[in-house]
Amino acid sequence: MTATVELPVWLLVLVLAFAIVAALDRVLVPSARWYLRRRMERVVARLNLRLDRPIEPFKLMRRQDMILRLVHDPAISAAVARSARSTQTREDVVLERARAYAREIVPAFSATVYFGFATRFARRFSRAFYDVRIAASAPRGDLVNRDATVVFVMNHRSNMDYVLVTWLVAQRSALSYAVGEWARIWPLSSLIRAMGAYFIRRNSRSPLYRRVLARYVQMSTEAGVTQAFFPEGGLSLDGRIGTPKVGLLSYLMAAEGRDLLFVPVGIAYDRVLEDRILTEADRVGERRFRAGPAQFVGFVLRTFWRLVRGRFPGFGAAGVAFGAPISLQAWKARRAEDRGPDALARDLMDEIGRNIPILPVPLVAAALSRGSVSRHGLPAAVAQLRVELAHVGAVTLLPEDPVAEGLRALEKRDIVVEQGGRLIPAAGKARLLAFYAASVLQRLDRGTEGRPDGSEVGA
């Protein structure tokens, strides 16, 4: 037992390396995990004291545990069996495919990242570029059904929408977003997962994939996790509210055990960062955004340089308006027929449209889109437009002199020029002017409307 054993140096190094790995795996790593888990639980407990909607335990599950729970859900097991029969594939192979789908979809929420970094960054970033104006507060937690799952539904104007809404409701709850393929880029994907967002393939036709996605959405909804999504599914190319897609909405409606409270949110900007890209995509009739890396980096560097030198005036106003909550149970009770997702999607989009705020640039753009006017005649044209908007109950977030503010922004970007004493779109900019005017003109097209079914909506 006391004899000396001689070993080559390389073998000694190998033995020590294995010993260190074993110590890490069995002692240090579990201890570190336990410490971090306890610390996170204390952070979450403090957060829940100030949140209207406490963070649900489902959202705090370890990602691996959530994946296992999803893959072994009875509905997924049945879907795997059906897929194996229809494709003549072994069930273990199909099960592994379902597990890969689950790993792709399921987030890895971190309360520290979400409330410690993301919401603070979102607030500072938004205010650095926009004068953020809010038409109404998000509904207070004590005014809605505490047992219901809250779902924020909004129009999709810009990728800035995610940033704005995240920090505006940060005092009430942590949102779970559905994000598309654009965000599955490392390291952005890791940050987005840590914020609780789940990834979706918008154009996937695989029944198995759709079943895995549907069950994840339903499980999180049944657990009370606050949701947020864009019924349009993508950015508006022409500035108008688009036709809603009902995929995610149908998954939400199929969830059991809780009522759903849909909160309509209208979003508008004096300047949409992607406006030229979107209008070009609309012109060619193809939803492919052709902004290259050089174009994106150039825009960021120019803006940052102006910001550092103190010569960045901002992009104008960003407006957000929260509408009254719509209870799914109450909505179904009021309708004798047609209670499907298509009907609900139409009603939700109507409510979102009624809550899109009117800002100076879209207002002036709408006045000019009706016909060229002189600089001195523009205030009268805008005043007439404001009367019509007031008649239909539009939400307005306007300064004392919206004409000066809106026209200055349009002229500074060379969207509008004065020619022959008239204000007209600059060469090649008519589509861009129409893009900003569209939301205002669409609001007027709706006319004087009550609720979709002629009755009041609410919790």
Look at residue 433 in the predicted model and tell me its pLDDT.
96
pLDDT at 457: 36
Q: 81-90, 392-401, 445-454: lowest mean pLDDT where?
A: 445-454
**Per-residue model confidence (pLDDT) at position 141:** 46
On the question of pLDDT at 22 being above 80, the answer is: no
My answer on whether 241 and 227 are in the same domain is yes
Give the pLDDT band (50/70/90) at residue 455. Answer: very low
- Please tell me whether residues 391 and 258 are part of one structural domain: no
Query: Which residue matches tokens 């996937």?
Result: 204
Q: Is 206 in the same domain as 237?
A: yes
Closest listed residue to residue 432, CA positions, set 368, 347, 372 = 368
In a domain, 140, yes or no: yes
How confident is the model over 193-247, as pLDDT tens digits?
888 889 888 778 899 999 999 999 999 999 999 999 899 988 899 999 989 999 8
Residues 131 and 228 in one domain: yes
| Residue whose structure tokens are 């108008």 | 240
Q: How far is CA 205 from CA 94, 211, 247, in A?
A: 16, 11, 12
Contact, 255 vs 149, CB < 8 A? Answer: yes
Task: Report the CATH number that the domain containing residue 342 is assigned in CATH.
Answer: 3.40.1130.10
- Write the Ramachandran bin of 403: left for phi over 0, alpha for psi from -120 to 50, otherwise beta: alpha
Answer yes or no: do 319 and 338 share one domain.
Answer: yes
For residue 74, is it within any domain? no
Is the pLDDT at 38 greater than 90? The verdict is no
Q: Print the domain residue range for 395.
A: 360-445
Instruction: Give the mean pLDDT of the chain.
Output: 85
Asked which of 336, 355, 374 is the last residue of a domain, the reply is: 355
Of 280, 219, 243, residue with least CA distance to 435: 280
Judgement on whether residues 221 and 335 belong to the same structural domain of the protein: yes
Same-domain check for residues 436 and 320: no
On whether both 266 and 202 belong to a single domain, the answer is yes
pLDDT in tens, 232-266: 988 899 999 989 999 899 999 999 889 999 999 99
Which pLDDT band holds residue 459 (cuts at 50, 70, 90)? very low
In a domain, 417, yes or no: yes
DSSP string over 95-155: HHHHHHHHHHH-----HIIIIIIIHHHHHHHHHHH-EEEESSPPPPGGGS-TTSEEEEEE-
H/E stretch holding 227 reads strand 227-229
Quote the Cα angle for 48-50-52, to 5°: 80
Residue 120 has pLDDT above 70, yes or no: yes
Is the domain of 259 the same as that of 110? yes
Note the pLDDT tens digit of each residue in 297-353.
Answer: 666 677 777 777 777 778 999 999 999 999 999 999 988 788 899 999 999 999 999
Q: Answer yes or no: is 15 within a domain.
A: no
Q: Specify whether 333 is located in the same domain as 370.
A: no
Is 118 or 154 the better-scoring residue by pLDDT?
A: 154
Per-residue pLDDT of 54-63, as tens digits, reads: 888 888 888 9
Count of structural domains within the chain: 2
| CATH at 368 | 1.10.10
Instruction: Give me the mean pLDDT over the 429-434 stretch.
Output: 95
Percent of the chain with pLDDT over 90: 52
- Whole-number pLDDT of residue 425: 94
pLDDT of residue 344: 95
pLDDT > 80? residue 381: yes
In this prediction, residue 167 has a pLDDT band, given cuts at 50, 70 and 90, of confident
Q: How many angstroms from the chain centroid is the CA of residue 143?
A: 24
Last-in-domain residue among 296, 324, 355: 355
